[in-house]
Amino acid sequence: MLEEPTYEDGDGDRSKVTRVLLTAGKLYYELAARKAKEKREDIAIVRIEQLAPLPKRRLDETLDRYPNAKEYFWVQEEPANQGAWPRFGLELPELLPDKLSGIKRISRRAMSAPSSGSSKVHAVEQQEILDTAFA
């Protein structure tokens, strides 16, 4: 479980956070860049690097650091029916029902292929993921 350096260094104010974005992998860096560009103090990004077994205690402790968080999202680049969401969409609400019972997904639409096959479509879809995460 990795929090943003801003919060780990003590520079950020966790009490301002109302939306938590959970993610894994390189998408974290795009989300962090967008957050810094927009100077969004109401959003925290938590990167989960151990997907199995999911570190329940560490996740719970990390989310407890954001006492005013109201919205939780799993953000992934993969289509909705691929990546971690098919498992996490079921497991996270059961794992931490007091916090994650209403978790929502931000990703590409469900697809039979792992990508659209077009770099232009991919870029548009990637921008939509970021726009939705910061809406």
Listed in sequence order, the residues at least 6 apart from 77 whose beta carbon sits closer than 8 Å to its beta carbon are 25, 27, 83, 107, 108, 126, 129
Task: List the structure tokens of 80.
Answer: 């909705």
Domain locations in the chain as residue ranges: 5-133
Listed in sequence order, the residues at least 6 apart from 55 whose beta carbon sits closer than 8 Å to its beta carbon are 1, 48
State pLDDT tens for residues 62-88. Answer: 999 999 999 999 999 999 999 999 999
State pLDDT tens for residues 44-63. Answer: 999 998 999 999 999 999 99
**Cα–Cα nearest to 71, from 49, 40, 113:** 40
**Cα–Cα nearest to 116, from 101, 104, 105, 129:** 129
Domain 5-133 is found in CATH 3.40.50.11610: yes
**Most distant CA atoms of the chain, gap in Å:** 43
Q: What percentage of the chain has pLDDT greater than the value 70?
A: 95
